[in-house]
Each structure stands twice: as C-alpha cells, then as structure tokens.
C-alpha cells in the first residue's frame, strides 16, 4: 500500500507545512494578496478571518456588514467583509476570496500569555472545504487540491 503522501501527490494535492504551538494551536504561513502572514488552522471556524490590525498589511478594502461574529471566547463582535482577495498556502491558490475581518485582540492576548507571536488571521472551514482538505497531524501537513 502506498503511503498517504504518495497517494495525495498522485491526486495532485498540494502540501502545506504547519507548526504546533505551545498552546496546541496549528499555525501555518499563508499569503494574502502576495503578503505573508501567520494563521491559525481552525477546523471549527466556519469562515477564514483576518484581524483589523492586518487590514493595511494585506491591502484590504473591508466593507461594512450587519453580521456579528462569535468565537469560543467572545461573542457578538463587530465584523467587516474583505472581498476579492488572493489567498495562497504554499503552492495552493484561490482567487476572489472573501475574509471576515474582526478584532483578534482576544486571540493574540491568549497567545501572548504563552510567549507566542501574534497571528494575522484564521484559516477556517471555507478554505478547508474549497480545497478538499486532508490534515496529516502526525507529519504536520495540510493537503489541499
């Protein structure tokens, strides 16, 4: 039997390396509009998100929305939508992608308490579903097609 890596390579999956933080969060590097940043890989997040502090860094043009965001630690948070973005994880790329933009201060405060550098955003189920994601926890790879 072929191993997972060989099988996925034959199916043309792209592999994205991730790290596991002291907090047990999975983090990976991604590019948004050609600019690199650090993102938590969160299978429980319905949408991929960016923090308000990353708007300028990634050249976003967020628009107002009446929707509110909720997370495990916060609820009823003001959001914006940033449309028409290019997202790249290793060699996997998607065009015309929409991010939810909201305050990630609470997430970065927790990371800071553990001496971990802040993150720019969250990769959620929208990207994972779009890329038909497979996560290899043992070898620390996310595979997307």
* Least trusted range by pLDDT, from 41-50, 74-83, 94-103: 74-83
Task: With cut-offs at 50, 70 and 90, classify the pLDDT of residue 36.
Answer: very high
pLDDT above 90: residue 3? no
Q: Which domains does the chain have, with CATH numbers?
A: 4-144 (2.40.70.10)
Residues contacting 24, CB < 8 A, separation 6+: none
pLDDT above 70: residue 69? no
Residues contacting 132, CB < 8 A, separation 6+: 144, 145
Mean pLDDT of 81-99: 97
pLDDT tens-digit series, residues 105-145:
999 999 999 999 999 999 999 999 999 999 999 999 999 99
pTM of the entire structure? 0.89
* H or E element at residue 101: strand 92-102
């Amino acid at each position: 039997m072929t191993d997972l890596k060989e099988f996925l390579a034959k199916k043309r999956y792209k592999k994205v390396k991730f790290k596991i933080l002291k907090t047990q969060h999975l983090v990976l590097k991604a590019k948004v509009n050609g600019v690199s940043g650090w993102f938590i890989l969160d299978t429980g997040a319905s949408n991929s998100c960016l923090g308000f502090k990353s708007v300028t860094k990634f050249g976003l043009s967020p628009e107002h929305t009446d929707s509110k965001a909720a997370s495990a630690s916060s609820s009823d948070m003001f959001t914006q939508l940033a449309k028409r973005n290019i997202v790249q994880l290793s060699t996997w790329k998607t065009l015309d992608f929409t991010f939810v933009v909201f305050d990630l201060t609470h997430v970065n405060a927790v990371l800071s308490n553990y001496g971990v550098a802040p993150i720019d955003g969250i990769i959620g189920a929208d990207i994972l579903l779009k890329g038909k994601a497979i996560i290899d926890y043992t070898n620390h790879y996310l595979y997307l097609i």
